[in-house]
Structure 1
């Protein structure tokens, strides 16, 4: 163990000599450290003594230990010739001569006492917690020093202080205020009393005392930030006394309560249902009767109208109102066979028929489609049939006759060289020979018109912006607009960045021409606007930007009209078709097959028999049992890109087309499942 002496004298040399004497060593046997050099004051006043630390080398300690057997002489602090009054807690020790305290040191009531006599000198060790001075010489933490009679011992303990930290956070919507606390505290240290001992290690007890935050300071800050609503005063007090780091909700706004939009509740069945096939009298099963149309009677409740419920406004922490989201009601249009109740909350049927409910956004259209039952054939004797509702014909439709219904048509006999038009669905139990059939054709037109109108709407909106910019350009003066209207600007733009708009307008006109029989007065007015506004630039009737804006709004309105929900009762079912033209706005089912027929449908084409010759198009795909012709008449099957053609047996010579990709089969092939991959190549 290291043996050292700290000595003080008028000069460094005197202090070293005193230490060597105490250690009974020579300069060659020790390490000398000058801790403080002497200093002379003016006129002999305020002089400063020298302080040295002299440590015996390790090998000398071993030699002395061998010579001295079990006893080591005490190491003490040399007595100083000047006593410097201590500045902190200190106690020079002279105690009554008590046998059990001789050569010991102890702490009582916070004071250090020791009893040194002759070679019986107690030791004291400094620690990190307690700073120690012997005769005003600081003792390093962990160092042990022998106490001699007359030494002045002083120690200090220092409290640790951490001030509390807090801040106020208001969320982005000003609905919550949080107080974030980092607790403050003071650690109070006190030296522990110790009974008399030969070796005293200075220790201190620690007590933690938390520092509260003043609630008035928090409230003052809230006022500065204009927080006036929803304060939780008890929570503020609790937060200010918190002894842990935490976040407290100290103010909260009142959320707005959302209302509910109005809506329409359908109270009757409006969809066609698949039913179990019926058994004939002879015991066989008739698989042709598998759909059933819903029906209501006069006075039946069709649906209920629920008005909107307005929400309740809230308040944020600044005391400002928080508006509830706006609500909307439904707009109900009553059609044929329906009426509103006196309170305007019920829709009732006024006739027997099939209920039709079309919900599009906020708009609800309700109507009753009546049913006409025609017994016998449709011939010259009966005349053509035009009916606003469903039609059921128990006989045949003969040559040159026409049946047109704003609803569903069910024909139990043959259709021979006739014309059939149904806006909803068509079921022909027997054969269709040399006839023209259109089912849900308006939806075919809508399907073609929708993407074109979408482009026209986007392009005309951009066109309006472009014209406003060109109006401010030097090349086009306001006087030019006043004299010639928008024609010069449209001419320039159509030859530049708006070539696509001109192309889409022409495409829409061709689409209208294909379906001109379906066009009503509303569409005719729109066509006239296109012709006179865009396609005849020498005399365009678009004079101002307001004229063009009205066209944009009309386009948006018509686009909403063509984007209709999918109606599951737009379909057609046939037994056998020959030499006919068929147009259907939904799926088509054929039992026996088709021969030399032109068929186009907007849904899936399913044929449990054969297709022999003709051109067949199905937007959503095909599933055919057998297709192809042995002979000169070719058979072509076409679907939209993304759809699949599935043919159980495909004869050689048949043409398949998916999108713009075409393939000609030269040999008979079984189980063909054709589609396009990501590279737009056929996959079988």
Structure 2
């Protein structure tokens, strides 16, 4: 035999049906044994419930394995019945006079014994309905042996509820199931007493109505065929508590690798500790390591991208792996790229310089020019493709321009200094303009504008595509003149701000053409022809527009990462000057007066910042701003950055994102930043 259950019901049929539901079997698959038929009990009071034993029939092999277990269960049942009968007999054996005038409950039945001049009292509790001689009892009643009592106990049946949720990306399916339950109430046993209250306890029988086949069928109906966890579905169907199960999971794609550059030598400058000399003394001047390589040295290897592995969604459709990008290699003076070997080779001896911009690198090898004295009219301007060291000062109206680093030991007065990477000025900057890493800052600024253009161009493409799908629009009308007439209407009416951004981009490219790669100039020319001049041969079809979208994205990818993180500008003091750096600006001495500072990275002023303005892409740290006389001084950072000022004087303005504050009195320990609600905090 298989598993057995005992089941109670008002009738034999009801007890059998409850057992069949619990075993998930039909009548043909079970054997039924009637233990109690139910009906009227002792003293003519109440009705006892029907009790059946239902056993699921198993194969001969399975039955043999369970004979011992079934035998032990029967012995336990016999022992239990004997104990119950013994208790009943004990009650019967109690002296007749001790039961007279009392009522009690045993095994769901009400018993009582009459007594002259006294009747037992029964109070009906919750979940119980009592009929005395076919009349419903409300509250309390007396009972006699000859009364006909019928009990009705509350029952509640809640059906199983389940649902399937498919996520919009077709990557997961969740099964939510709330199993059904059959709630039954049975009377609690109560000892003989002159008054009792009928009390119940609740029994909960789970209704495991959901079948694995029902879920599988629903998934098939939804055309879900990949990633189904059949074993989890089966466990979920057997659950007796409410829960949610992820029964279907897509196979995620495996990411590939973008192209990478592997350096075979050190290419970045490093700050090192003081150098100990052979005589035991320490040289504090040799604290910077500047790498150098010899002509013919292979200093980098370019690794190609590795494609990822596609996944599969729950519909069985492929999920493409994320796109991978190769490294775009550009070489400057002193370096060449051997494409067949994917190697960068030095053609000069000097300092390797590698500038990273998104997925592009620009590699050069720069020699160093050392100028022992001042830069003045007697020496002329210094322009050099490499690094420049000046051991004197830069006098009025002179220019120092280098592709690499510039080091100036003295002052810079009324002059212009530009370095492609880093500028270090040991003394002061007065009435001068100093730029560090501007070429890459130009790329970053143009990239920001290109990001706006890219988003708007995508909207314009969608708008034209929708117009082509309208019946009233005749595509033949554009076959001869291209998209120019349609673009003119859209740019004049719906995208009025698009042309101004295009003009700014074109102007920026033209002004800095010598600092940019050919892609930028090519893109500016295409923008001018297609959107400003609206040349009929510019954009002929939607395919041309989509091709331009791809080219815009290609150029945008070059500029999306922060340019030249190693660029920096350092000096002791600045007066009436413009300092511009695509990386960090560090003022190490007295401070800054009436100057304009623009740092793509962190702006740090150890002294005072009085008059003028400063921008810091990664945040600003200043000891003191403004003066007691109320000189306007403004510091601005993006929304994600912060401003720290130890002492902010009157007329200091701080701006974080588009939120700003002007101080009207001296304030200590300013910490300006935005919170999660985009509110400006100052402390």
What TM-score bracket applies, with the shorter chain setting the length?
A: 0.5 to 0.7
| Residue segments in structure 1 that go unaligned for 5+ positions in a row | 1-86, 94-98, 572-586, 629-635, 660-669
What is the correspondence of 1:393-472 to structure 2 with a 5 Å cutoff?
A: 405-410=402-407, 422-427=419-424, 439-465=436-462
Q: Choose the corresponding residue for 2:556, options 543, 556, 559.
A: 559
- For the 8 Å contact 1:266–1:304, the answer to whether it is kept is yes
- For the 8 Å contact 1:115–1:121, the answer to whether it is kept is no
State the alpha-carbon separation in 2 of the partners of residues 383 and 102 from structure 1. Answer: 131
Q: Choose the corresponding residue for 1:617, options 567, 591, 596.
A: 596
| Residue segments in structure 2 that go unaligned for 5+ positions in a row | 1-38, 46-94, 221-227, 637-647, 666-683
Distance 1:100-1:433 versus aligned 2 partners, 3 A rule: closer
Distance 1:204-1:360 versus aligned 2 partners, 3 A rule: same
Aligned to 2:161: 167
Q: Choose the corresponding residue for 1:154, options 135, 148, 159.
A: 148
Aligned to 2:652: 674
Q: 1:525, CA displacement in angstroms?
A: 2.7
The SS at the match of 2:160 is: strand
State the alpha-carbon separation in 2 of the partners of residues 233 and 601 from structure 1. Answer: 61
Q: 1:442, CA displacement in angstroms?
A: 1.1
Q: 1:450, CA displacement in angstroms?
A: 3.7
The answer to whether structure 1 residue 518 and structure 2 residue 518 are counterparts is no
Instruction: Please give the per-residue CA displacement for 1:30-57, whole angstroms capped at 9, x wherever unaligned.
Output: xxxxxxxxxxxxxxxxxxxxxxxxxxxx
Instruction: Please give the per-residue CA displacement for 1:620-658, whole angstroms capped at 9, x wherever unaligned.
Output: 578596899xxxxxxx84445998998789799998688
State the alpha-carbon separation in 1 of the partners of residues 110 and 542 from structure 2. Answer: 99
Aligned to 2:181: 183
Distance 1:303-1:637 versus aligned 2 partners, 3 A rule: same
Q: Choose the corresponding residue for 1:225, options 209, 218, 222.
A: 218
- For the 8 Å contact 2:413–2:432, the answer to whether it is kept is yes
Distance 1:672-1:646 versus aligned 2 partners, 3 A rule: farther
RMSD between superposed Cα atoms in Å? 6.3
The answer to whether structure 1 residue 123 and structure 2 residue 101 are counterparts is no
State the alpha-carbon separation in 2 of the partners of residues 548 and 343 from structure 1. Answer: 36
More moved, 456-465 vs 375-384: 375-384
Q: TM-score, normalised by structure 2?
A: 0.56
Aligned to 1:262: 257
The answer to whether structure 1 residue 247 and structure 2 residue 245 are counterparts is no
What is the correspondence of 1:44-55 to structure 2 with a 5 Å cutoff?
A: none
The answer to whether structure 1 residue 589 and structure 2 residue 571 are counterparts is yes
The SS at the match of 1:157 is: strand
State the alpha-carbon separation in 1 of the partners of residues 101 and 628 from structure 2. Answer: 118
State the alpha-carbon separation in 2 of the partners of residues 552 and 111 from structure 1. Answer: 87
Instruction: Please give the per-residue CA displacement for 1:591-623, whole angstroms capped at 9, x wherever unaligned.
Output: 5x66x86665566473736889xx842125785
Q: 1:89, CA displacement in angstroms?
A: 5.1
State the alpha-carbon separation in 1 of the partners of residues 509 and 165 from structure 2. Answer: 56
- For the 8 Å contact 2:208–2:238, the answer to whether it is kept is no
Aligned to 2:36: none
Distance 1:417-1:277 versus aligned 2 partners, 3 A rule: farther
Q: Choose the corresponding residue for 1:608, options 574, 589, 594.
A: 589
Distance 1:419-1:540 versus aligned 2 partners, 3 A rule: farther
- For the 8 Å contact 1:418–1:435, the answer to whether it is kept is yes
Aligned to 2:530: 533
Aligned to 1:63: none
More moved, 248-257 vs 514-523: 248-257
State the alpha-carbon separation in 2 of the partners of residues 495 and 464 from structure 1. Answer: 15
Distance 1:159-1:619 versus aligned 2 partners, 3 A rule: same
- For the 8 Å contact 2:425–2:572, the answer to whether it is kept is no
The SS at the match of 2:162 is: strand
The SS at the match of 2:148 is: strand
Q: TM-score, normalised by structure 1?
A: 0.56
- For the 8 Å contact 1:399–1:416, the answer to whether it is kept is yes
Q: 1:548, CA displacement in angstroms?
A: 4.5
State the alpha-carbon separation in 2 of the partners of residues 141 and 113 from structure 1. Answer: 18
Distance 1:288-1:474 versus aligned 2 partners, 3 A rule: farther
The SS at the match of 1:225 is: helix
Distance 1:535-1:645 versus aligned 2 partners, 3 A rule: farther
State the alpha-carbon separation in 1 of the partners of residues 290 and 627 from structure 2. Answer: 36
Distance 1:548-1:597 versus aligned 2 partners, 3 A rule: same
What is the correspondence of 1:42-441 to structure 2 with a 5 Å cutoff?
A: 104=100, 120=116, 123-128=119-124, 131=130, 133=132, 142-144=140-142, 152-163=146-157, 165-173=159-167, 175-177=173-175, 179-189=177-187, 211=205, 213=207, 218-226=211-219, 229-232=229-232, 235=235, 239=239, 246-247=241-242, 252-253=247-248, 256=251, 259-262=254-257, 264=260, 271-274=268-271, 291-294=288-291, 321=316, 326-329=321-324, 331-333=326-328, 354=351, 356=353, 363=359, 365=361, 367=363, 369-372=365-368, 389-391=386-388, 405-410=402-407, 422-427=419-424, 439-441=436-438
- For the 8 Å contact 2:383–2:402, the answer to whether it is kept is yes
The SS at the match of 2:230 is: coil
State the alpha-carbon separation in 2 of the partners of residues 431 and 92 from structure 1. Answer: 116
The SS at the match of 1:231 is: helix
Distance 1:485-1:649 versus aligned 2 partners, 3 A rule: closer
Distance 1:88-1:289 versus aligned 2 partners, 3 A rule: same
The SS at the match of 2:179 is: strand
Distance 1:492-1:275 versus aligned 2 partners, 3 A rule: same
- For the 8 Å contact 1:485–1:543, the answer to whether it is kept is yes
